[in-house]
Structure 1
Amino acid sequence: MRFAHLAQRLFNTPIAIRPEKAEVVMAALADRLGISKMIRVDGTEGALSVGAYLGDEYARAGRDQPEGYSNVAGVAVIQVSGTLVQKLGTLEPYSGMTGYDGLRQNFLTALNDPDVKAIALQIDSPGGEVAGCFDLVDTIFEARGEKPITAILDESAYSAAYAIASAADEIYVPRTGGTGSIGVISMHVDWSKALTDSGVKVTFITYGDRKADGHAEIPLSDEAHANFKADITTMGELFVETVARNRGIAASAVRATQAGTFLGERGVKLGLADAVMPPDAAFQTLLSKLH
């Protein structure tokens, strides 16, 4: 299949992203991935049209960003935008995605740059891949105290993006921006009926009863579903415990959000952010603390 690498990043793998955004990505790539129908867990059918979800937002998400980070009055401004992926191979967001590899390099470079007095993570992202996320989060968290680290939301930080934001010393969210979606999701695509209807029969020859679990060519068995659910639960608990550690709040309180999203002040009241403030005011606040 063409674009098989995209399918591997979307299906049968845990991703920390808002469900609506997952549908948007699927809708955008449906033709390329050979998807003709999208069914939600509740049985309703999802639209396979990007325009039905976004209007021109998808194109806006692909806007170019400055290379690496910008040093603004001694503050390294690192962009965290679009869908987050483990390896993008660039220092800057590209084609609507930001790579954890680039973020790590930018962060560590800024941390060791004598001309940088503080680091600002400028975040506007619905989240992305679980792989690589929590290692990056730990790197940022463990650097606390070396230089001030501030997450400035412009406009929202959800799921994996919120995990990154939570590692900062402080989080500022605009009144129309959001925090949360502290959860993990995995999507399984079942092509078995489509293959049968087209006269194609796929036979798996395996060693190990679970070797073919999750393959799109066969229905997802109850046993396979239970195994994947256990993995998702483990990763979800890792997410909860990480946010609880980073934000200094009880894990039970984080878990009680049930992966919900919260605008502006609601997120602050839950301890997911420190103050409601537009990005420019948040940056000025950071600058004032350096002098």
Structure 2
Amino acid sequence: MSRLPHLAQRLFNTPIAIQPQKAEIVVAALADRLGVTHMFRDGSMRALSQSSMLLADEDRAPDRAYQVVAGVAIIPVTGTLVQKLGTLRPFSGMTGYDGIRINFLAALNDPDVEAIVLDIDSPGGEVAGCFDLADAIYSARGQKPIHAVLNESAYSAAYAIASAADRITVPRTGGTGSIGVICMHVDLTKALSESGVVVTMIRYGAYKAEGSEFEALSKDALARMQADIDEMGELFCDTVARNRSIKASTVRGFEARTFLGASGVDAKLADAVAAPDAAFAELLGSL
């Protein structure tokens, strides 16, 4: 069964903490499958050919718990992050906050686990559920060592999760940052009109269905949506500032900039530059 409507619902008209470039790729993929490719530029469609895994309609792999290597639980945080995926492992280019949470809590209570590694390579994803998960990881500090090993990057929502760990390592070519929130509003009115389709919204309540893709976005609606995005952005900055013990004003000053390798360490968004295997070996040596 196609999962396109489900993916579209998670991408459009809802706040997401994801790299804009990744968002363009996913939007272009949906546009191609929905037959409205002309809405997006050719560059996004070319990028799609390298990222088609996200929309693969495949059977779910059996759920697997985290792996334990030499007393270290390894929890994967890869691909696009979503609130509820319903599986403990990454699936079809996505990882669910629900699976990360269950694995993390299980590892905390596992007597065979001495430390936890968040194995991260993600452009980010949904805002919903992200900060609750980051808070849960942050509040567990001190129970067992928690290391975020970037393999290769942690952007946006993925960085919010990484920041909750005790220690963050990033490879030379890996990235951190993109501390911000976006919301993509899709206006289908012209496309529908050209297709001979007219959608009439019948509502109770002046704000019901505000921001619908079937209506042009009014200035008042845009202002209210922007206010929500600003509030979530402030929450993101405050969360990172708390987790990394840096000033919130400093985080806001990044203006969602991304940092490559050592630049992330200089910005205090990571603790060291290290290849994933070296970071893992260092953790083992400390146990």
| Shorter-normalised TM range | over 0.9
1:27 matched residue in structure 2 = 28
What CA distance in whole angstroms lies between the structure 1 residues aligned with 2:65 and 2:50?
A: 26
- Runs of 4+ displaced beyond 6 Å: none
Greater CA drift, 201-210 or 215-224: 201-210
* 1:284 and 2:281 matched: yes
Say if 2:145 is the partner of 1:148: yes
Residues 28 and 48, structure 2, Cα contact 8 Å, conserved in 1: no
Map 1:115-130 → 2, pairs under 5 A: 115-130=112-127
Distance 1:93 1:21 in 2: 17
SS at match of 1:138: helix
Tell me whether 1:210 sits opposite 2:204 in the alignment: no
| Contact map agreement 1:83 1:97 (CA 8 A) in 2 | yes
Structure 2 CA distance for aligned equivalents of residues 184 and 10 of structure 1: 12
2-structure distance, mates of 1:198, 1:35: 11
Equivalent of 1:176 in 159, 173, 176: 173
Q: 1:176 to 1:193 in 2, by over 3 A?
A: same
One-letter amino acid of the structure 2 residue matched with residue 175 of structure 1? R
Structure 1 residue aligned with 2:100, among 79, 87, 103? 103
Query: C-alpha distance in 1, partners of 2:8/2:69?
Result: 39
Distance 1:57 1:221 in 2: 34
Count of matched residue pairs? 283
1:187-238 superposed Cα distances (whole Å, 9 cap, x missing partner): 0111101111122211111122111311111111101100000000000000
Alpha-carbon offset, residue 33 of structure 1: 3.2
SS in 2 for 1:224: helix
Q: Secondary structure at the match of 1:29?
A: helix
Check the 8 A contact 1:2/1:33 in 2, yes or no: no
Query: 1:187 is matched with which residue?
Result: 184
Q: Is this contact kept in 2: 1:86–1:132, CA < 8 A?
A: yes
Q: What are the within-5 Å matches in structure 2 for residues 41-190 of structure 1?
A: 45=41, 47-49=43-45, 52-53=46-47, 56-59=50-53, 67-190=64-187
Partner secondary structure for residue 37 of structure 2: coil
Checking the alignment, whether the CA contact within 8 Å between 2:8 and 2:30 is kept in structure 1 is: no
Task: Tell me, yes or no, if the aligned pair for 1:23 and 1:46 is still in contact at 8 Å.
Answer: no
Output the TM-score relative to the length of structure 2: 0.93
Q: 1:188 to 1:37 in 2, by over 3 A?
A: farther
The aligned amino acid for 1:278 is A
Q: Find the aligned partners of 1:155 and 1:130 in 2 and give their Cα distance.
A: 21
Query: How high is the sequence identity, in percent, across the aligned residues?
Result: 65
Give the superposition deviation at 1:58: 4.3
Could you tell me how far 1:55 is from its partner in structure 2? 5.2
Which deviations, in whole Å up to 9, do the C-alpha atoms of 1:18-37 show, x marking residues without a partner?
Answer: 00000111122223334333
Q: Which of residues 262, 266, 275 is equivalent to 1:265? A: 262
Are 1:3 and 2:4 matched, yes or no?
A: yes
Q: Which segment is superposed worse, 227-236 or 198-207?
A: 198-207
Residue range with higher mean Cα deviation, 26-35 or 135-144: 26-35
Counterpart code for 1:53? A
Distance in 1 of aligned mates of 2:99 and 2:231: 27
Q: Which runs of 5+ in 2 are unaligned?
A: none
User: d(CA) in 2 for partners of 1:129 and 1:141?
Assistant: 19
Aligned partner of 1:235 in structure 2 is: 232
TM-score for both structures, normalised by structure 1: 0.92
Distance 1:6 1:81 in 2: 17
